[in-house]
Amino acid sequence: MDGKIRNNISIGALVDIVLKNDQPTGKLTRGHVKRILTNSPTHPHGIKVMLREGDQVGRVQAILEED
């Protein structure tokens, strides 16, 4: 599913995000959504979320499974 659309993302969903520091390399970090930080319905670079694992913040690149 598309990580650029806020309605596609739910709390607890398993996602791949790109952290701010990893944007140049495109390295992805996998985890479960703790909070959705972007308020707008869409974002061209991906919806910003916080992960449960380590409170890491990044933009969703892929939604792997809904919770």
Per-domain boundaries in the chain:
6-65
Please determine, for residue 66, whether its predicted confidence score (pLDDT) is greater than 80. no
What is the C-alpha separation between 8 and 22, in angstroms, rounded?
Answer: 23
pLDDT attached to residue 6? 97
Please determine, for residue 10, whether its predicted confidence score (pLDDT) is greater than 70. yes
Global pTM?
0.92
pLDDT attached to residue 35? 97
pLDDT attached to residue 44? 96
> Do 36 and 15 touch, CB atoms closer than 8 A?
no
23: Cβ contacts below 8 Å, ≥ 6 apart = none
pLDDT in tens, 27-64: 999 999 999 999 999 999 999 999 999 999 999 999 99
Is 6-65 assigned to CATH 3.40.50? no
